[in-house]
Amino acid sequence: MTNLSLRVDPVDALIDVPRRITVSGAKPGALVTIGTETSRSGHPWLSRAVFRADAVGAVDLGRDAPVGGDYAGVSDMGLIWSQVSPTGGARDHAQFNASTAEPLVTRLTVSADGAEARADLVQRLLAPGVVREEISEGGIVGVLYRPPGAGPFPAVMFLNGSNGGVNEPRAALMAAKGYHAMTLAYFGYAGVQRHISNTRLEYFADALDWLRARVQPKDGFVAVSGQSRGGELALLLGATYPDKVSAVAGWVPSAFVHGGQAAADPAHGRDGPSWLLNDVPLVHIWNDNRAASWAPYDEGAPPRRNSKAMVTALGDPQACARARIPVERIRGPVLLISGGDDGAWPSDLYALMVQASLTAAGHPHPVVWKNWPEAGHSILFPHVPTTRISSVHPVSGVLTTNGGTAAANAEANLGAWAAMQAWLAQATGRETD
């Protein structure tokens, strides 16, 4: 009779904290199966892996690779990032609960030689003392998370990509690190326009002013961090309003202004403008482009790969020059995060172009570029499922792939979040505190 035991350490912590998961009490050399189940937005997400117990009947996920199951190689949190939803949650439903105050609780079950043991793993987005505020004031819409304590604290504004809406999980977690974190809505959310088409840049300038006035950030520091189309927008805002943006983080960004694409208002079409400045559309890379073609995307087999169309536009140097974001105007540190197998657009090439432009201009502030060659477009933060490679776009309704593999995307999540924390610490002077 075995005395099987399963241990998680720590049991309850913020979502980006790694856990040590160990098994003891199995027979030496026995096959040990560990399964997980997490309810995410009401849908079960599951994983399973089989291990060979060592000479003393123990398994340590930070030491041992599974001999079978849903992931390969040594990974202390492999049972989390390899989770999938058998009911369709991987495609149609969020990986997080509706409220950031509601933790994700994973039940782990271990079985070996007829014995069984269980343990829980609790992941939180909201740290004790963090305050959430819904914002709908003076035309500014979003959600603000304030860190605990008296401050003052620096601030970060988050911008979502072509999915629209707001990114509360990222903002909540950033507030836990000691930053005022606002996730700004600009389309696809109550109180703002439905599509990305004809979005006024002045809205973001007003939002930056509002944020500074509301939170009084330390040393006036407000960084802008954007994902995908939000990464394009973050670089664009830094270049357009350099006196308002203290630093720019572009996660899988573009080096060019793009049209509406998948998030466009059907009345304007995917080749219509995304951004307006003084009510004038910004020239985007598809405008009068002699090489650009949607055929590689439109005629591709599902899941379609948007990046195949995006690279065609690079064949017209004049069009590229007209649509290039003048990143040399940015007056602060820049962070670039990219994946080499990005299915949405070539974020690694775009990031290289941005870095090259800043270097050529003698940019006086730190520029950090982190690239994961086998990762795709969906780079977030650590210890979340990364198996959602292909999905139906929430605006266009087309099945597309973001690229990468679950393992590569998990590695990118871990490295990118660490890079963001180190970059912000340097940008705000915290690394010398």
Active-site residue numbers? 228, 342, 377
Tokens of 427: 């940008």
- What element of type H or E holds 227? strand 222-227
- Helix, strand, coil: what percent of the chain each, to 5? 25, 30, 45
- What element of type H or E holds 34? strand 31-40
Main-chain phi, psi angles of 176, to 5 degrees: -65, -20
- Residues present in the chain in total: 433
Main-chain phi, psi angles of 368, to 5 degrees: -115, 125
Cα–Cα distance, 164 to 145 (Å, whole number): 19
**229-240 vs 201-215: helix crossing angle, rounded to 10:** 80
Tokens of 194: 């439905």
- List the one residue out of 64, 8, 62 whose CA is nearest residue 31: 64
Cα–Cα distance, 26 to 58 (Å, whole number): 6
Tokens of 229: 């189309």
Task: Give me the residue label for tokens 């201009």.
Answer: 361
Cα–Cα distance, 44 to 319 (Å, whole number): 47
What is the three-state SS of 153-181? CCEEEEECCCCCCCCHHHHHHHHHCCCEE
How many Cβ atoms from other residues are within 10 Å of residue 6's Cβ? 21
Helix (H, G, I), strand (E, B) or coil at 421: helix
Task: Give me the residue label for tokens 């477009």.
Answer: 377
Tokens of 362: 């003698």
